[in-house]
Amino acid sequence: MLVGYMRVSKADGSQVTDLQRDALLAAKVDAGHIYEDAASGKRDDRPGLAACLKALREGDTLVVWKLDRLGRDLRHLVNTVHDLTARDIGFKVLSGHGASIDTTSPSGKLVFGIFAALAEFERELIVERTKAGMAAARARGRNGGRPYIMTAAKLRLAMAAMASRNTKVGVLCSELGITRQTLYRHVDPKGNLRPDGQKLLGGQKPVTKIG
């Protein structure tokens, strides 16, 4: 069964859900299975979303118009969809930047996997910056370099990026904060895992591309 969720940010009537509702109905979501809220996506107390998540059952699919209707915080989105996946519930986005996400399909799962890796990468960046700031404070003026460390989140992003012919290795390394040597020690030019990469992911061999 398809279950829809829609949200507007203001409760004063200045925003309406007509566009979202029409899109959900066009996607074959029954009108009686649509939940809604009038609240900011950053708020935790959204009764419509709570009721929606509670109503979902194994085999159902949660459908939203755009990804930001479910929430604006990437980590919250990832955690919510992970919880749905653990309950064998699908998640589908109809339009916008997240329109490729459909966890009921292999390609949609890959796209969401990249979103999840980005959330993990963002979290690790915050930790690294905090540690770097503490080290700088302790050093009190002494020069110190940031270590070129490959993490699981960076590795997953590198695999997905290297699988694309359009990826510029120099730019990728700069964005991940690693050297080319570190990159190629973990993945080959096609994005396949090398021994160091397999070791970092605990022996896993994730698929980097479809087809």
- What residues form DSSP beta bridges with 7? 37
3-state secondary structure string across 151-198: CHHHHHHHHHHHCCCCCCHHHHHHHHCCCHHHHHHHECCCCCECHHHH
**Between helices 74-86 and 47-55, what is the axis angle to 10°?**
20
Catalytic annotation on 105?
no
Check 9, 40, 100, 105 and give the catalytic one. 9
Whether residue 95 contacts residue 65, with contact meaning beta carbons closer than 8 Å, is answered with: yes
Residues carrying an active site annotation: 9
